[in-house]
Structure 1
Amino acid sequence: MNRALILAVVAAVGIVVAASTLFTVHQTQQVLITQFGQPIRVIRDPGLKAKIPFIQSVIAFDRRLLDYDATGEEVILGDQRRLIVDSFTRYRITDPLLFFQSVGATEAGIRARLNSIVTSSVRRVLGNEPLLSVLSNDRARIMTEIRRQVNDEARRFGIEVTDVRIRRADLPDGNTQAILQRMQSERERVARELRAEGAEQAAGIRAGADRERTVLLAEAQASSDILRGQGEQDAIRIFADAFQRDPQFFQFWRSMQAYREAFSEGDTRLLLSPDSEFFRYFRESMPAPAPRAAQ
C-alpha cells in the first residue's frame, strides 16, 4: 500500500515537473525565456521546447500583424484649416527582447507609445500640406511619409510599423459649411474660366474654317472661270476652222440648229415674209410647181 502511494506521488511530481519543463511554441507566436525576471533567450521556431522548471518563465508575443486605432485628433493643416483626423496603425513585433525591455511583457505598454508617436507624426506631416492635397491623390504620398516617420521612431521599441492610414478626415462642424461654400465658389470660378476659354477656341476654329471655306470657293470659282474661258476659246477656234473648210456646209448646219431650236416646242409662231432668208433651205428642198395647162 505504501509502495503504491509512493509511486503515485512520484508520478504526480514527474507530471508536474514535465509540465513545468515542456512547452509548445505556436506558429503564430515567438517566445522569450526569462530567469528570475531577466531575459535569457528568444525562441521563434514553432514546436515543443524545454526550459528549466520553476526557475525559467515563458512570455509569448504574437508575431502576426497587430492593429492600433488612434483617437480622433484635431489637426491644423498647412493652409491654416482645421481637420479632425482618425487613423489606425498596423505593426508587428520583430524583436521580443527589445520589446520586453522597452514596454514590458504585454501589448498595453506599446499602445500608449504608439498613440503619441502617431499623433505627433500626423500633426507634423499634415501641418505642411493644404486641404486639397489631403483630399486628392496626394494622400497616398502623405500617408507614406507618416508611416516612414512612425516606423523610424517605433524601431527602438522592437516593433515594425507596416502601415498607417487615415480612416476618417472630417471638417469641424463650425467650418464645414463655410469651407464647402468656398470650395463651391472656387469650382464655379474655374468652370467659368474653362467655358470662356472653350468659347474663345471655338470662335477661333469657326473663323478659321470660314476663312478656309471662302478661300477654297474663290479658288474653285477662279479655276472654273479659267477652264470655261479655255473651253470657249477652243470651241470658237474649232468653229472657225470648220467654217473656213466648208462655209456652205457650216451655214447649212447653223440653219438646221436654228430650225431645231425654233420649232422644238411645237407651238412656235413666226411672222416672216415668204421670201425671208430664214426659209431658204425650205424653199430649195421643195419641188417646183407644175405649169398650168392652156385652156
Structure 2
Amino acid sequence: MKRSIAIFLAFAALVTAWASVFTVDETELSIVTKFGEYKRTVSRPGLHAKVPFVETVHTMERRILVSDTPPAEYLTLDKKRLVADPITRFRITDPLKFYKTVHDEVGAKARLDDVVGSELRRELASHNFGEIVGNARDPMMQVVAGHTRERTHDFGIEVVDVRIKRADLPHEVQESVFARMRAERDRVAKQYRSEGEEEAVKIRAETDKERTIILAKAYETSQTLRGAGDGESTQVYAAAYGKDAELYSFLRSLEAYERSLATTSTVVLTTRSPLFKYLVTPDKAR
C-alpha cells in the first residue's frame, strides 16, 4: 500500500514538474495567462517556469506569416471586371494585442483578408485595366499595403507587403477577348499573305522581264556572231573558188552531204545528181 502511494506521489510530482516549465523556441513568442487574464510576455528563447495547472502558455510565430486571400472579382476605373487573388505577408509585433484582438493566426488571417479585400477594391477602382496589368501595379500594391498596415496596427501585427499573385479577366470575358485577339491575328496574317503574294507577283514579273531582255541580247549577239562567221566562211569559200574551183565544188558537196545525211532519213539520188558523183567515183570527181 505504501509502495503504491509512493509511486503515485512520484508520478504526481513528475507531472507537476513537467507542467511547471515550458520552452520558447527562437522562432516563437509566448504569452502567459492566468485563468484567461494576461500575466506576462516571454520572447527570450529557452526554458521558463509557470504555475502548473493555473497558468496557460499561448505560443505564436515570430517569423513572417502569409495570408493567401481567396480570389475575388473587382471592378476597375474603366468598368472592367478583374479577378485577383492577393497575398499578404505579416509578422506579429505585439503578442498581447494580437492575443486580445484576433487571438490566433486563423483569426488574424480572417481579419487581414477583409481589410486587404476592401483596400484592394478601393485602389483598383481608381485605376484603368491597362494600368493594373502594366507597370503601375507595384506602386498600387504599395498603397494597398500602407493602408492595410495602418488599419491592422491595433491587431498587434505589422504588414510587410501585399501582392497580387495573379490577375485575370473573368472566364466569360476571357473568351470574348481571345476571340477578338484571334480575329485580329487572322486579319494581320491575311494582310501579310496578301502583301507577300503581291510582292511575289512583282518579283516574278521583274524576273521574267530581265529574262526576256537577257535572251533577246543573247539572240542578238548570236545572230551577230553567226553573220560574222557566215561572212568569213563566204570569204574563205570565195578565195578557195578563185584558187581551185573543183576543190570549192567538192567542199560544198561535203557540206551538203553533212546536212542531208546527218539524220537517219533515207536519201534517194539519181545517177545524174551532182551529189551522186562524189559518192560513186570520188577519185574521178577530183
- TM over 0.5, yes or no? yes
Letter in 1 for 2:167: A
Are residue 147 (structure 1) and residue 145 (structure 2) matched? yes
Partner of residue 133 from structure 1, selected from 114, 131, 134:
131
Indicate yes or no: 2:158 matched with 1:174: no
Cα shift at 1:174:
3.0
Residues of 1 paired with 2:171 and 2:26: CA distance?
A: 48
Kindly state the Cα deviation for residue 46 of structure 1 after the two structures are TM-superposed. 0.5
**Letter of the structure 1 residue corresponding to residue 149 of structure 2:** N
CA distance in 1, matches of 2:79, 2:36: 50
Structure 2 counterparts to residues 6-45 of structure 1, below 5 A: 6-45=5-44
In structure 2, what residue type is equivalent to 1:140? Answer: D
Q: Secondary structure at the match of 1:54?
A: coil
SS of residue matched to 1:164? strand
Deviation at 1:111, TM superposition (A): 2.2
Q: Give the Å deviation of 1:107.
A: 1.7
Displacement, 1:177? 5.2
Task: Give the Cα–Cα distance (whole angstroms) in 2 for the partners of residues 158 and 179 of structure 1.
Answer: 44
Give the CA deviation at 1:82. 1.1
Question: Secondary structure in 2 aligned to 1:145?
Answer: helix
- What does residue 158 of structure 2 align with? 160
In 1, the alpha carbon distance for the partners of 2:26 and 2:106 equals 22
SS in structure 2 opposite 1:78?
coil
- Which deviations, in whole Å up to 9, do the C-alpha atoms of 1:87-145 show, x marking residues without a partner? 111111111111111122x3221222112101101101111011111111211111111
Q: Give the distance between the partners of 2:139 and 2:83, measured in 1 at CA.
A: 19
Which residue in 2 is equivalent to 1:115?
113
Residue equivalent to 1:46: 45
Distance (whole Å) between structure 2 residues aligned to residue 26 and residue 77 of structure 1: 45
Q: Which runs of 5+ in 2 are unaligned?
A: 188-286
The range that moved more, 30-39 or 88-97, is 88-97
Task: Specify the code of the residue in structure 1 equivalent to 2:77.
Answer: G
**Where does residue 74 of structure 1 map in the other structure?**
73
Q: 1:174 to 1:6 in 2, by over 3 A?
A: closer
TM-score of the superposed pair, with normalisation by structure 2: 0.60
| 1:156 match: secondary structure | helix
TM-superposed CA distance for 1:5, in Å, is: 4.2
CA 175–5 in structure 1, closer or farther in 2 if over 3 Å, else same: closer
Q: Aligned letter for 1:67?
A: V
Q: 1:5–1:177: structure 2 CA closer, same or farther, 3 Å change rule?
A: closer
Deviations 1:44-79 (A, max 9, x none): 110000011111111101111111111111111111
- The residue number in structure 1 matching 2:58 is 59
1:172-211 paired onto structure 2 within 5 Å:
172-176=170-174, 178-179=176-177, 181=180
Identity of aligned residues (%): 37
Q: CA RMSD in A?
A: 2.1
SS of alignment partner, residue 48 of structure 1? strand
Q: Secondary structure at the match of 2:101?
A: helix
Alignment partners' CA distance in 2, 1:19 and 1:177: 63
**TM-score normalised by the chain length of structure 1:** 0.58
- Residue 6 (structure 1) shift: 4.5
Structure 1 unmatched runs, 5+: 189-295
Range 9-18 or range 118-127, more displaced: 9-18
Residue 33 of structure 1: how far off its partner (Å): 0.1
The match for 1:197 is none
Query: Which amino acid is the alignment partner of residue 123 of structure 2?
Result: V
